[in-house]
Amino acid sequence: MESTSLSIKQEQANMLTHAFGLLLSFIGLFTLVLGTYDQNNFLHFLCCIIYGTSLVLLYAASTCYHGFRSEHWKHVFKIVDHCAIYILIAGTYTPFTLLALGGMWGWSMFCTVWALAFIGIQFKLFFVNQFKIFSTLIYLMMGWLVVIAIEPLMQALPFEGLMWLVAGGIAYTVGVLFYLRDDYGYNHAIWHLFVLAGSVSHFIAVFLYVIPEAEGTTFLSLSSS
């Protein structure tokens, strides 16, 4: 009984941490849409919709996964949750690749990351309960793939924006240490807090630095830059 009670409390902590993230994600999506809707720039608007929606999807899936008691629905939302991680990674890359980088660098990174996300989703649909360490390494590899474009990113973003981007990556990476031991105590909830920190850091980078710096970027300028 005691371990069951603790398990319920752990799941409540897991659910509440990402329910808070879901609330922040809706606010973030609304802020992004509001900030780009009247700019008459469809590319900005589209990138923000993709990025903001990927945040909402991840936190909604995670909240449902940890909130449901039914084994059936837990399994369903576990699959959605794990697939949503790939979508969030690719969604976060979208404004950085298409708005900050642009040109061949931007399109190459954009297509590569979304292709990897698609492959990862297919993998998770069949092996959601297996290969945890391998899957985690794929998440990390996708997240840090950005280092191959660090030089053009340094030219495209102010130093502060780059630091928020790196800070988000570090938060996600450190959190993985708790994720890999999430069967111990409240480690999974702690992992969720690191995910929140990473999401907030990347949102700051996108909203305060990527979008303002990319003012005037359009689909036409992407191919010519």
Give the pLDDT score at 212: 86
Q: Tell me the DSSP string of 144-191.
A: HGGGGGHHHHHHHS-HHHHHHHHHHHHHHHHHHHHHTTTTSTTHHHHH
Select from 110, 107, 113 the least CA-distant residue to 85: 113
Sign of CA dihedral 87, 55, 45, 222: negative
pTM over 0.85: yes
Closest by CA position to 95, among listed 224, 205, 216, 220: 205
Q: Which residue has the tokens 């399109």?
A: 107
Quote the pLDDT of residue 217: 54
pLDDT at position 25 is: 98
Asked if 96 contacts 165 with a C-beta cutoff of 8 angstroms, the reply is yes
Range of the domain at 152: 2-224
Tokens representing 215 are 């003012």
Residue 133: per-residue pLDDT: 86
Q: What is the pLDDT of residue 151?
A: 93
How far is the C-alpha of 9 from the C-alpha of 16, rounded, in Å? 10
Rounded Cα distance, 88 and 74, in Å: 20
Whole-number pLDDT of residue 222: 52
Res 220: pLDDT: 44
CATH number, position 62: 1.20.1070
Count of C-beta atoms within a 10 Å radius of residue 176: 17
pLDDT at residue 2, as a whole number: 34
What burial letters (b/e) apply to 53-77, b meaning 16+ CB within 10 Å?
bbbbbbbbbbbbbbbbeeeeebebb
**pLDDT on residue 128:** 78
Mean pLDDT by 10 residues, the chain (225 residues): 60 95 97 83 92 98 93 92 97 97 93 95 87 88 94 94 97 94 86 98 96 63 48
State residue 3's pLDDT score. Answer: 40
Distances (CA, A) of 166 to 147, 177, 205: 10, 18, 10
Domain tally, the chain: 1
